[in-house]
């Protein structure tokens, strides 16, 4: 279940909006320039599928979005729990890389979740919007938008990434500690899982 939670950027003491309705989520994010869509889920694609399998399964959607948005590079990123003894350290390093508020000056951040889940936190107009994305969700965050991303302490997701530039994007960190003041992925994931319609 996709979930949007909005708070004032002063802290999570007041919930301004909380909805799992895809149409409401898209409507709430559109004025921010943020794109939210749901694509058909290819159930035959396993969570740990290789990049070629993922790209082939979603070729029609990828081609349509690339043509519409002018994307020149598309790839697949995946993180899933492993028996590798280095997994905890790799997972922690991957999570920490995106956990602090930053912007991208040269490109949008566009992701389609093939499997698993993650949360994009968008800091716009005096509010923080936590967008819990799971398989089937496409999110497009415009360049220059303050945001951070949390994949949890046990990351498990596969996502298709779209880029306008061949070099991808580089994060510019704002120096703010705002991400530490809002519920993290694990907290929101646990709350969401406990809800009756989850």
147 known ligand binder: yes
Instruction: Give the chain's mean pLDDT.
Output: 94
Other CB atoms within 10 Å distance of the CB of residue 100: 17
Question: Six-digit token pair at 179?
Answer: 């991400």
Residue 63 has pLDDT above 90, yes or no: yes
Per-residue pLDDT, 125: 95
For tokens 């800091």, the residue is 123
**CATH number, domain with residue 162:** 2.60.120.10
- Between 3-7, 79-83, 174-178, the lowest mean confidence (pLDDT) is in 79-83
102 known ligand binder: yes
Residue 197 counted as domain residue: no
Residue 122 counted as domain residue: yes
36 known ligand binder: no
Residue 115 counted as domain residue: yes
Residue 198 counted as domain residue: no
Q: How many domains does the chain have?
A: 1
Q: What is the pLDDT of residues 94-109, one digit of tens each?
A: 999 999 999 998 899 9
Q: What percent of the chain has pLDDT over 70?
A: 98
Provide CB contacts within 8 A for 156, sequence distance 6+.
47, 79, 80, 81, 115, 116, 117
Phi-psi region of 33 (alpha: psi -120 to 50; beta: other; left: phi over 0): left
Per-residue pLDDT, 197: 56
109 known ligand binder: yes
Question: What is d(CA 25, CA 20) in angstroms, rounded to the nearest whole number?
Answer: 7
The pTM of the full predicted model, rounded to 2 decimals, is: 0.95
- Domain, as residue range, for 156: 3-192
């Amino acid at each position: 279940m996709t979930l949007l939670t909005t708070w004032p950027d002063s802290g999570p003491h007041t919930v301004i909006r909380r909805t799992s309705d895809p149409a409401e989520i898209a409507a709430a994010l559109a004025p921010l320039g943020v794109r939210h869509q749901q694509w058909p889920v290819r159930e035959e694609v396993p969570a740990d599928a290789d990049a070629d399998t993922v790209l082939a399964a979603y070729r029609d959607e990828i081609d349509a979005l690339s043509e519409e948005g002018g994307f020149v590079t598309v790839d697949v990123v995946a993180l899933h729990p492993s028996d590798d003894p280095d997994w905890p350290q790799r997972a922690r390093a991957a999570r920490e890389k995106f956990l602090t508020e930053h912007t991208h000056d040269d490109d949008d951040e566009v992701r389609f979740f093939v499997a698993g889940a993650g949360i994009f936190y968008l800091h716009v107009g005096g509010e923080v919007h936590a967008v819990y994305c799971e398989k089937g969700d496409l999110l497009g965050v415009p360049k220059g938008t303050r945001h951070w991303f949390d994949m949890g302490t046990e990351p498990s997701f596969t996502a298709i990434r779209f880029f306008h530039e061949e070099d991808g994007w580089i994060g510019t960190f704002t120096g703010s500690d705002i991400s530490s003041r809002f519920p993290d992925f694990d907290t929101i994931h646990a709350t969401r899982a406990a809800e009756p319609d989850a």
